Structure 1
Amino acid sequence: MSSSSSTNTETLTSSSSSSSSSSSSSSSSFASRPLSQLKHMDIIDLLPNSTFDFRFQLPRQAQDFLERREVREFMSGALAGAMTKAILAPLETIRTRMVVGVGSRHITGSFVQVVEQQGWQGLWAGNMINMIRIVPTQAIEFGTFECTKRAMASLQEKWEQNECPKLQIGCLNLTLSLSWISPVAVAGAAAGVASTLACHPLEVLKDRLTVSPEAYPNLGIAIRNIYKDGGIGAFYAGLSPTLVGMLPYSTCYYFMYDTIKKSYCLTKNKKSLNRPEMLIVGALAGFTASTISFPLEVARKRLMVGALQGKCPPNMAAALSEVIRQEGLKGLYRGWGASCLKVMPSSGITWMFYEAWKDILLVQKGLI
């Protein structure tokens, strides 16, 4: 009897030890395995020596979704935009005030005026909505750009492989080719339009919070007052001029970045840019695009916030005419210096962060 009891005790001890070892091994194995290799159900110890455990269910569909190239490009854009805006929010505040004609006409004067009236926190007025706006905007913009660029390049390749169709007009035989179309330019235009259509209401909120913090002290009040004054349509005020202004800017912006990048790499016999070079190339692309499209930006801002001053022009042409009549041609570039001061570092930093996040989320994962 004693021998049997001893044997049973040893068996239980051995079983317990084996179970503990197995549980420890399972937990250790779980901790050491990458997420993509986890089983659908795994046992995890709450504490190293705990007898309790729970089962962790990993949604495979969600993991597969996050591994897609397009999703990671969207994520890279969102992270790059958020990091850039957090750094450059004060310049955005000053730029917006100067463009719409609020306060001083000089960068330094506007800076001092904001600090005196609202304190240092005034430089970040509207930054919360700006951060909420920039994450989806940059995600959609960069994601759309990358997807459209690949689609256009693939379409051109298939078009050439299947022989370009010919159009006969009398004695003329015309070959229809897509080779003259720049995939980058088309992708840039598509990116600008897509992000604008999706995120324009957030742009309206951001401008109202920045220009008139007294009337719109926080996001909730801004949403309520704008809706009360004009309904849902008020959140899309200035959409048409925004799209008109965005097309040349976005097209030029992405085209210039790609062109300068390729030309520099070809000249220096390099395959890719380092981080400082990305910063410079991105800044040059932003400067060029902003200079070309700035008059349209002035008209767009006037239309979007004109209601605050009780003199909202009916359309973009009227807004441009009003600016020229009141301030002359130089009025079309009022705030251009502040805009470049903001756009150049913003563009450079955004591209630098975007390429860095692409390296982390795509290149290191073998998705590119």
Structure 2
Amino acid sequence: MIQKSPSHSKKKSFCVLGDGYGVVMVPKELDLEKPHSFNLIRFQLPDLTKPIKEFLRNREVGEFVSGALAGAMTKAILAPLETIRTRMVVGVGSRNISGSFIEVIEQQGWQGLWAGNTINIVRIIPTQAIEFGTFEYVKRAMTSAQEKWNQNDGPRLQIGHVNLKFSLSWISPVAVAGAAAGVVSTLACHPLEVLKDRLTVSPEAYPSIAIAVSKIYKDGGIGALYAGISPTLIGMLPYSTCYYFMYETLKKSYCLVKKKKTLSRADMLLVGALSGFTASTISFPLEVARKRLMVGALQGKCPPHMAAALSEVVREEGLMGLYRGWGASCLKVMPSSGITWMFYEAWKDLLLVERRYL
């Protein structure tokens, strides 16, 4: 029941709401039987497209993302070669490339060629991102430091009548940056490399990433995830230094000879392949020792250190044993290196818009 109270000037009007249990008087403006229009509050998400584009166009971020994408795409393409290379280096199965391919297919099917590829992709994304990002950053920092050092004529040391002038011009920014890139990425991502090798070499014992992590931790704790870190770092220094130095040197020399400002995609593929071939050949014995240490526990015999691993290889297989699997390694490293540089430069062009890094 609704009754209206008498109206009085300068007084509010009221409605009487009641039922069998009682009544209540409310202001007429709050008459509940009349429809009311409400201004709904609308929430609109901000447009993040422009900030994201600007963020990706930041030089360091663009190089970091370009490295990650290039590494992932390359590993997805070349996973079978990585599987064969790892098996031959650690001495599992056939001693030649074709025999190893056939052996994997017979035992595990075609999918066996991609054994451990999931962890390989997971590993390579941060590894390549950190590696390329560190290389570019340190190279620029070293170049800038050399320029400032030369402008200030560098510090001098006076010893009696002898005046010594210190100079940084003899140091190659590319070589220093390459070494730094290899060391930083290795320290950050080495556990993923250990997991990848275990999944590749012994998929029966390590059928999944979770089981592999659990078993490795149970057998040796956190330290087991860094098995072989010493030879890895020692081997990474000559490899990474030579790898980046060769690429930058060949790239600049080729552009100078051909009177070009930039390389074509085909040129990047070739120059990258040559730089990978050279670096791999120089550091391959250390790579053999590193792999032996990382997966030696699988065969029940793990050398205590890198020198022991090298001695064991020479004693069992002679000096040529230090290059066992070198052909398979080159078969994998050369296309991998070439494709990685090609993808990396392409993504940099796309994300950074301008080619400001030559």
2:217 matched to which residue of 1? 227
SS in 2 for 1:178: coil
**Alpha-carbon separation, structure 2, partners of 1:161 and 1:340:** 43
Residues 1:56 and 2:13 aligned together: no
- Indicate the residue corresponding to 1:6 in structure 2: none
| Counterpart residue number, 1:216 | 206
Query: 2:96 aligned with 1:116, yes or no?
Result: no
User: Contact 1:144/1:187 (CA < 8 Å) preserved in 2?
Assistant: yes
Kindly indicate whether residue 266 of structure 2 is the aligned counterpart of residue 266 of structure 1.
no
Size of the aligned set, in residue pairs, is 318
Inter-CA distance 109–170: structure 2 relative to 1 (3 Å threshold) = farther
CA distance in 2 between partners of 1:64 and 1:170 (Å): 56
1:175 aligns with 2:165: yes
**Equivalent position to 1:242, from 232, 247, 256:** 232
| TM-score, normalised relative to structure 1 | 0.83
Q: CA deviation at 1:164?
A: 1.6
Gaps (5+ residues) in structure 2?
1-39
The Cα offsets for residues 57-110 of structure 1, whole Å up to 9 and x where unpaired, read as: 356976664442111110000000000000000000000000000000100000
Q: Which runs of 5+ in 1 are unaligned?
A: 1-50
Kindly provide the amino acid, as one letter, of the partner of residue 56 in structure 1: L
**Structure 1 residue matching 2:45: 3-state secondary structure:** strand
Q: Tell me the secondary structure at the aligned position of residue 44 of structure 2.
A: strand
Structure-2-length-normalised TM-score = 0.85
CA-to-partner distance for each residue in 1:270-323, whole Å, 9 max, x for gaps? 111000000000000000000000000000000000011111111101110110
How far residue 362 of structure 1 moved from its aligned partner, in angstroms, is: 0.5
**Residue 219 of structure 1 aligns to which amino acid in structure 2?**
I
User: Which structure has the highest helix share of the two?
Assistant: 1
Q: 1:137 is matched by which residue type in structure 2?
A: T
- Deviations along 1:101-128, whole A, 9 cap, x unmatched? 0000100000000000000000000000
- Partners of 1:216 and 1:178 lie apart in 2 by 49
Contact 2:131 2:181 in 1 (8 A): yes
Instruction: Supply the distance in 2 between the matched residues of 1:168 and 1:328 (Cα, whole angstroms).
Output: 54
Equivalent of residue 67 in structure 2, options 48, 65, 77: 77
RMSD: 1.9
What is the CA-CA distance between 1:165 and the residue it aligns to? 1.5
2:91 is the counterpart of 1:101: yes
After superposition, the Cα gap between the structure-2 partners of 1:158 and 1:225, relative to the gap in structure 1 and judged at 3 Å, is same
Higher radius of gyration, 1 or 2: 2
Residue equivalent to 2:179: 189
Q: Name the structure 2 match of 1:341.
A: 331
Deviation at 1:174, TM superposition (A): 2.4
